[in-house]
Chains A and B, each alone.
Chain A
Amino acid sequence: MQTAKRFGTAVLVTGVVALAAACGSSGGSGTSGGTSASKVLVGAGSTLVAPLMSQWEPDYTKSSGVTITYGAIGSGGGIDAITARQVDFGASDAPLSAEQATACKDCLQVPWALAAVVPAYNLSDAPDHLKLNGDVIAKMYLGTITSWDDPAIKALNPGVTLPSTAVAPVYRSDGSGDSYVWSSFLSAISPDFKSKVGVSTQPAFTVGTGAEKSSGVAASVQSTDGAIGYVTVAYITADALHSALVQNAAGNFPQPTTAAITAAAAAVTTIQPDGSVPLVNPPASAADAYPISTYSYAIVPKSSPKASQLKAFLTYAVTTGQGFGPDLGYPGLPDNIVTHDKQVIGQIGS
């Protein structure tokens, strides 16, 4: 019966989202070019962009009269919601997989925020900002590096006394954009990780413990000596976690500052045919680039009943809206991406 109850809840939640969407569309069509006050755009997805979105919502309503309603239900949930057309736009930190893109039927991906995933650890008797590299982290998550005084970690941290505490990797047990970025980075560095675990919003980790949502990962890392996990920058400061510095291709250990993330974005100009722009492990030419940076994407249908409102909001988000970013830890989008975004937004029709 409990299962039945959960499914009932899922149905209920979907119903509420659908209702919100229905109210949104009736609000838009009911006025049909009349007053703009009742216009609503409904979105759902990534929790990573939620703080940015909470700045955009009031500001955009003030300037345009269109109300934005955003549900931070997680990237996977956002993809589901836009695939079912329950919302006007979805938001995801992972680009659509080929399967998801097919299911979504003519969806466009608009990179609209820049962020970074950071290794967090809890190790008593060790300082903050230990230095790690992709290979070491991959081995921790594969179970081949099992203690913090492993020679490979010592070699990266000369002069630091490391305890022999066991390494306890923590990962997201729910589908997550963070997991996607994290597993993309580790797969880019370690062929072993790529073949044994792979890239996914839910990678098949073979060792460690799972925790739900970023808050769960943060709590799990905090409560376990020797734990290492991954969260976005905001959680490091919010939960006062220790964060590790990760070596980039140039051999440096940049902090995940807005400048370092911008440097990564500037170094990668190739836009994939599916519209994604993978940023992990940027080339060595970008000496100060943070290696686990990522774009977060808005996912919108090519044909939307609210095309003009959607286009206006997305254009605001990738231009004016970026101004809110740096204070919240999101660097502004590079110019080439803004140009690309405008061209993608132009493809939306009704």
Chain B
Amino acid sequence: MSMESPQPLTLPTRSRPRFGDLGLRTIAGSAAVVLTAIMVAIVYQVVREAHASIGQFGLGFLTDNEWNAVTNRFGALDLIWGTLYSSLLALLIAVPVAIAIGLYLSELAPSFLRTPVALMVELLAAIPSVVLGLWGILVLGPFLADHVEPFLGDNLGFIPLFSGTPSSHGMLPAVVVLTIMIVPIVASISRELFSSVPSDLKQGAMALGATRWEMVRSVAIPQVSGGLVAAVMLGFARAVGEAIAVSQVIGGTLNQSWSLFAPADTMAGRIASQYQGAATALQRSSLAYLAVILLVISLIANVSAQLISGRIQRRMGIRT
């Protein structure tokens, strides 16, 4: 998770070139080139596909909330809202939980528990999203609609978040499913991060009389905060891009509501459900336009993660 690239390894040069070096250089270099080329090709293809829609709607696409294949008018506002709202809510729940898990596994858990619990957390990340979505439809959605949402509505209904009629498809199951997807990612990265804090620092803090909590708060967390930001951004990117599971539980409806009970839709979800069998060419192009927006959001998230964690590390004076 280090944001500063390590010094390149310099080996003493020999007069005779070695085939091993050449082979390594070729394989590693071509892998890097191919990957970059694929990335460029994907961006090119997506933008080309989106061209008709970009030409037709321009930036107005971002502020229009109509999505109508009958009148051939498309706009992304409700979908952008649904994407950001669901991802940020999921992040809000997942990040504290995940960091707590990471801390527990690296600092607090008895050693016989660490490996099995860490394994379970990582297994959670291995559940295919379509399976999670199916569970969302069959188990989670009805449970939330029958038990959790009526309770929240009756007791906290005055908050816009919990207003409206309970529904088995909507923002709440989507947020829960996304949370389940983000937690293992952020948890395993933060576990690694906390384990990487030099033990002399930790022991030093303890030796100075710090409690375990004070050690975590004043030594461990600041030490890894740059990496934590990057982990959170990785979780955010996962949530923003998740298509299948979300489209199964969110209700596929254009909506801009604070209510967790209301159905909504996300950009990735809409691409997954409508790209194949789009009713018009312009609709297909507009779905590609959504993909362009997703690419831009991912780019912004990544760059800002780099900037933030770089700044934190500089401020902390940490060299890695």
Contacts and interface: CB of A to CB of B under 8 A. Distances in A.
Interface string B28-70: 0000000000010010011000000000000000000011111
A71 B165 CA distance: 39
A203 B276 CA distance: 16
Contacts of B145: 223-224
Contact of A210 (B66, B238, B252): B252
B235 interface: no
A344 interface: no
Interface stretch (A5-13, A51-59, A261-269): A5-13
A212 B70 contact: no
Interface stretch (B90-98, B154-162, B243-251): B243-251
A3 B291 contact: yes
Nearest to B39: A4
A61 B220 CA distance: 69
B203 interface: no
A198 B70 contact: yes
B252 A223 contact: no
B298 interface: yes
Contacts of B272: 6
Interface in A215-238: 216, 219-220, 223-224
A198 B279 contact: no
Nearest to A103: B281
Given A2-B243, A203-B70, A209 B253 contact: yes
Contacts of B274: 173-175, 202
A266 to B, nearest CB: 30
Contacts of B165: 166
Interface stretch (B17-25, B136-144, B221-229, B307-315): B136-144
A310 interface: no
Interface of A: 1-8, 10, 73-77, 79-80, 97, 99, 103, 166, 168, 173-176, 197-204, 208-212, 216, 219-220, 223-224
Q: Specify which of B67, B241, B268 lies most central, judged by the most chain A CB atoms within 10 Å of its CB.
A: B241
B251 to A, nearest CB: 4
B142 to A, nearest CB: 4
A83 to B, nearest CB: 10
Interface in B267-320: 268, 271-281, 283, 291, 294-295, 298
Interface of B: 39, 42, 45-46, 66-71, 137-138, 141-142, 145, 165, 167-170, 237-238, 240-243, 247-248, 251-253, 263, 265, 268, 271-281, 283, 291, 294-295, 298
Contacts of B237: 1-2
B66 to A, nearest CB: 8
Given A76-B278, A76-B279, A209-B167, A204 B251 contact: no
Contacts of B265: 173, 210
B168 A220 contact: yes
Contacts of B247: 173, 212
B242 A2 contact: yes
A219 B277 contact: no
Contacts of A8: 42
Given A1-B298, A2-B237, A212-B252, A76 B70 contact: no
Contacts of A75: 277
A216 B70 CA distance: 23
12 contacts: A2-B294, A3-B46, A3-B294, A74-B277, A103-B281, A175-B278, A198-B70, A201-B279, A203-B69, A209-B169, A210-B251, A210-B253
B116 to A, nearest CB: 30
A219 B138 contact: yes
Contacts of A204: 66-71
Contact of A7 (B46, B238, B252): B46
Q: Specify which of A6, A99, A210 lies most central, judged by the most chain B CB atoms within 10 Å of its CB.
A: A210
B167 A168 contact: yes
Contacts of B137: 216, 219-220, 223
A197 B70 contact: yes
B272 to A, nearest CB: 6
A170 to B, nearest CB: 8
Given A7-B46, A201-B277, A224-B167, A209 B263 contact: yes
Contacts of B243: 2-3, 6
Contact of A174 (B169, B170, B277, B281): B277
Contacts of B294: 2-3
B260 to A, nearest CB: 14
B139 to A, nearest CB: 10
A4 B276 contact: no
Contacts of A224: 145, 167-169
A200 B298 contact: no
Contacts of B39: 4
Contacts of B279: 76, 97, 175, 200-202
**Which 10 A/B pairs are nearest by Cβ-Cβ distance?**
A76-B277, A2-B241, A210-B252, A173-B252, A175-B277, A198-B70, A204-B68, A209-B251, A202-B69, A209-B263
A75 B277 CA distance: 7
A211 B250 CA distance: 9
A168 B278 CA distance: 25
A200 B69 contact: yes
Nearest to A199: B70
A168 B170 CA distance: 13
